[in-house]
Amino acid sequence: MQGWPSGPGEGSAAGAVPGGPGWRRRPRPVPSRPVGGGRQRGGGGGGGAAAGATADAAELPLAMGGGCRARAPPAAGLRLLLAHAVLLCAAGSAAGTGSVNPCCYFPCQNQGVCVRVGLRGYECDCTRTGYYGVNCTSPELWTRLHNLLKPSPAFYHFILTHFKWFWDIINSTFIRDTLMRLVLTVRANLIPSPPTFNSDYGYISWEAYANVSYYTRVLPPVPANCPTPMGTKGKLQLPDPQLLAERFLLRQKFEADPRGTNMMFAFFAQHFTHQFFKTSGKMGRGFTKALGHGVDLGHLYGDNLQRQHQLRLFRDGKLKFQVVDGEVYPPMVTEAPVHMVYPSRVPQEQQLAMGQEVFGLLPGLCVYATLWLREHNRVCDLLKRDHPTWSDEQLFQTARLILIGETIKIVIEDYVQHLSGYYLSLKFDPELLFGSQFQYRNRIAVEFNQLYHWHGLMPDSFIIQGQEYSYKQFLYNTSMLMDYGVEALVESFSKQVAGRIGGGQTINANVLHVAVGVIQESRQLRLQPFNEYRKRFGMKPYKSFQELTGEEEKAAELEELYGDIDALEFYPGLLLEKPQPNGIFGESMVEIGAPFSLKGLFGNPICSPEYWKPSTFGGATGFEIVKTASLEKLVCLNVKKCPYVAFQVPAAAEHGSPRAAGSSTEL
Ligand code: HEM
């Protein structure tokens, strides 16, 4: 715990029941200032509360008026503390209450819930956190044991990405299943289900649960009217987002991802995620148009019934299509009149109609839209062969479920497998979870959306069959898809290396404005500091900017701008963290991203015991399509001549991860 004075000794405080539910009934009095001026931190999670408890010796009213008080500070840091006390009073007065909301200090550790009580008090609800005490910092016995045995993220990452010979053995035994089950349950358990907060509700409410137009939130917003924008730490004003982006995020020199991630991966990431990341322009930040909150393939079928109907052929379950030079492509909007986002220079006859409004932006997105459209219609043919009596509706609906299953299979076994760099072979098998308690539901979180802004993947220009295209030539290039055809584009995307995402200065100037928008959004929605998220996802908070970046120069600049590592924002933290050895980004992106991702994938209803059976997918044929799907099959079963296709460039694939290209034998 950072900087929270605990009053009477944490852990033994009256009102907290050791080993009990930890719900403290008597409100804590508001602290008059944050603890001891400097950074007093007790390791990860909640150790710091003890430091807070010791700083409580004497409280001296400092004649601030309006009930504002600050304790007599230790000699060192006196000025800082006085300044802080003034700050607190100012903020309290600004709130019209004369006191600071104690939850601005983020006093509750280990997932304890902070509730403001009265004007100056707070309570931490430690129920089922495994901790007790005023600030949920005292571990129960089993928690103590668990913490003792729990390896650090860096340790298990190292093990999982080394000793290939060892993993080759493990992967052929039942231990693979055991480990996969462990990965799934540990990760998915970090995501609250049902969802809890959202950007308007920092407490549990029916509205936050029932109104699916909101993205959910894992951590509630920083309370309104805190002393500083990030709670109580850092400066009164956050650094200018444009300045932050230009100084720390703007790419100076292209750095290829060290593990050879390619453009085929980058466009897959963008295509796949834009079915559930669809921030609402009308309702504003914090709201989504993708009400399915997961893998529903709304980017193929539209996010509402009207759009779906415009895109459907209403024959044999199929989607509308057009044939050009003997190849199937998505129809034009003249044939499937759906709203698409194109610049005004693109006439309607050249606008492809796709499930997602924005997919005209990039030929890479059009390629995936084409592949999935072909796959849908191919699956419909297979279903019709087995079920000649089925209606168009049943063929359509069943094909959709098969494609959802295929998507999840590809995402886990090709996409996440590549991204993780693990030698453990990841497995999509919903039955792994049938023995455990697991909620088959999902709600997309605003934090997940923020962290997935992987614009660093984008290169400085796009190389198609040896020809270089600038952003200007590539964006909204509506003729490229049919001029080159799917094979040529897949091969080119698979051979062009993508950029590294993490480590700072990785974003091309053409997309830097998106990063600026992400930072602005996080402020508007009052996302909690990066270090609070580190703790929430089981990591130790960083103690300094140097520890975050692993170097001195940028760290010093950041310190200057933010004033305190505990005031660093979520998205800059993720992008500026030193990458893992040979990794595409840092530890936090993995530790925070993986739980959202796995929960979203396995939380899909098709993974539930009620759905996961052949009949859901039209019988054994459909079930088999789901169970054997791969990126390679998606491409090669839907083109005439199978190109090089993988999520890594050929050189990396040769001596790369266990599931390198060409490993599929089912074609
Ligand atoms: C040249 C390629 C790309 C361009 C021009 C581009 C452009 C944009 C733009 C203009 C936005 C909307 C920003 C806003 O509303 O403030 C956006 C959002 C987003 N982009 Fe990209 N992007 C590209 C590639 C990618 C890639 C490879 C990813 C990786 C997953 C990605 C992930 C996202 C996400 C998650 C959002 C938020 C979507 C939402 O909430 O609606 N983008 N991008």
Residue 92 pLDDT more than 60? no
Protein residue with least CA distance to atom 34, ligand 1:
453
pTM of the full structure: 0.88
Report CA(511)–ligand 1 centroid distance (Å).
8
pLDDT tens digits for 368-423? 999 999 999 999 999 999 999 999 999 999 999 999 999 999 999 999 999 999 99
Catalytic one of 368, 452, 484, 562: 452
Residue 563 pLDDT more than 70? yes
Report CA(329)–ligand 1 centroid distance (Å).
24
Residue 517 pLDDT more than 50? yes
- Of 244, 240, 256, 258, the closest CA to residue 554 belongs to 244
Query: 575: part of which helix (H) or strand (E)?
Result: helix 570-576
In a domain, 118, yes or no: yes
pLDDT tens digits for 439-449? 999 999 999 99
Q: Provide the pLDDT for residue 476.
A: 97
In the chain the first and final C-alpha atoms are separated, in Å, by 54
Compute the half-sphere exposure of residue 337: CA atoms within 13 Å on the CB side of its CA: 1
As a whole number of angstroms, the distance between CA 539 and CA 44 comes to 7
Residue 50 pLDDT more than 60? no
What residues contact 109, with CB distance under 8 A and at least 6 apart?
1, 45, 46, 48, 49, 124, 131, 135, 136, 137, 535
In a domain, 132, yes or no: yes
Q: How many domains does the chain have?
A: 1
pLDDT tens digits for 113-150? 999 999 899 999 999 999 999 999 999 999 999 999 99
As a whole number of angstroms, the distance between CA 461 and CA 465 comes to 13
Residue 353 pLDDT more than 60? yes
Range of the domain at 107: 101-150
Whether 277 lines ligand 1, by a CB cut-off of 6 Å, is: yes
SS (H, E, C) 151-211: CCHHHHHHHHCCCHHHHHHHCCCCHHHHHHHHHHHHHHCCCCCCCCEECCCCCCCHHHHHC
Whether 358 lines ligand 1, by a CB cut-off of 6 Å, is: no
As a whole number of angstroms, the distance between CA 418 and CA 265 comes to 9
As a whole number of angstroms, the distance between CA 649 and CA 22 comes to 53
Report CA(526)–ligand 1 centroid distance (Å).
21
Pairing of strands 327-329, 322-324: antiparallel
User: 212 exposed, middle or buried (CB, 10 Å; 0-12, 13-18, 19+)?
Assistant: middle
Confidence of residue 99 (pLDDT cuts 50, 70, 90): confident
Report CA(108)–ligand 1 centroid distance (Å).
34
In a domain, 272, yes or no: no
In a domain, 138, yes or no: yes
Structure tokens of 493?
Answer: 């995307």
Q: Provide the pLDDT for residue 98.
A: 63
452 assigned to active site: yes
Q: Provide the pLDDT for residue 655.
A: 55
Q: Provide the pLDDT for residue 652.
A: 73
Residue 196 pLDDT more than 60? yes
Whether 571 lines ligand 1, by a CB cut-off of 6 Å, is: no
Confidence of residue 25 (pLDDT cuts 50, 70, 90): very low
- Of 497, 499, 530, 523, the closest CA to residue 512 belongs to 499
Q: Are 330 and 354 in contact (CB under 8 A)?
A: yes
Whether 285 lines ligand 1, by a CB cut-off of 6 Å, is: no
pLDDT tens digits for 290-320? 999 999 999 999 999 999 999 999 999 999 9
Q: Which DSSP string do the residues of 217-284 spell out, in sequence order? A: ESSPPPPTT-SBTTBSSS-SSPPPHHHHIIIIIB-SS--B-TT-BBHHHHHHHHHHHTTT--B-TTT-
Residue 88 pLDDT more than 80? no
Structure tokens of 108?
Answer: 């509750």
* Arithmetic mean of pLDDT, 510-516: 98
pLDDT tens digits for 534-559? 999 999 999 999 999 999 999 999 99
Confidence of residue 284 (pLDDT cuts 50, 70, 90): confident
User: 550 exposed, middle or buried (CB, 10 Å; 0-12, 13-18, 19+)?
Assistant: middle
Q: Provide the pLDDT for residue 282.
A: 82
* Arithmetic mean of pLDDT, 359-365: 98
187 labelled ligand-binding: yes
Whether 461 lines ligand 1, by a CB cut-off of 6 Å, is: no
As a whole number of angstroms, the distance between CA 215 and CA 449 comes to 9
Whether 273 lines ligand 1, by a CB cut-off of 6 Å, is: yes
Q: Provide the pLDDT for residue 665.
A: 31
Report CA(264)–ligand 1 centroid distance (Å).
16
Report CA(6)–ligand 1 centroid distance (Å).
43
pLDDT tens digits for 233-247? 999 999 999 999 999
Q: What is the amino acid identity at position 403?
A: L
Confidence of residue 281 (pLDDT cuts 50, 70, 90): confident
Q: Provide the pLDDT for residue 75.
A: 37
181 labelled ligand-binding: no
Pairing of strands 467-469, 216-217: unpaired
- Mean pLDDT taken over the chain: 87
Residue 19 pLDDT more than 50? no
Within 10 A of 495 (CB to CB), how many other CB atoms are there? Answer: 18
Looking up tokens 């029916």, which residue turns up? Answer: 206
Protein residue with least CA distance to atom 38, ligand 1:
277
In a domain, 128, yes or no: yes
User: 378 exposed, middle or buried (CB, 10 Å; 0-12, 13-18, 19+)?
Assistant: middle
Q: What is the CATH number of the domain that holds 124?
A: 2.10.25.10
Whether 455 lines ligand 1, by a CB cut-off of 6 Å, is: yes
Atom of ligand 1 nearest to the CA of 514: 13
Whether 511 lines ligand 1, by a CB cut-off of 6 Å, is: yes
As a whole number of angstroms, the distance between CA 643 and CA 636 comes to 7
As a whole number of angstroms, the distance between CA 269 and CA 452 comes to 9
415 assigned to active site: no
Q: Among 514, 585, 596, which residue has the most ligand 1 atoms within 8 Å of its CB, making it the best to mutate?
A: 514
CA 313 to chain centre: 35
Classify the C-alpha dihedral 346-351-357-361 as positive or negative. Answer: negative
Alpha-carbon dihedral angle through residues 211, 212, 217, 221, given to the nearest 10 degrees: -40
CA 454 to chain centre: 10
Protein residue with least CA distance to atom 13, ligand 1:
514
Specify the higher pLDDT residue, 85 or 586. Answer: 586
In a domain, 421, yes or no: no
In a domain, 109, yes or no: yes
Q: Provide the pLDDT for residue 657.
A: 45
Protein residue with least CA distance to atom 24, ligand 1:
455
- Candidate from 60-74, 171-185, 201-215, 472-486 with smallest mean pLDDT: 60-74
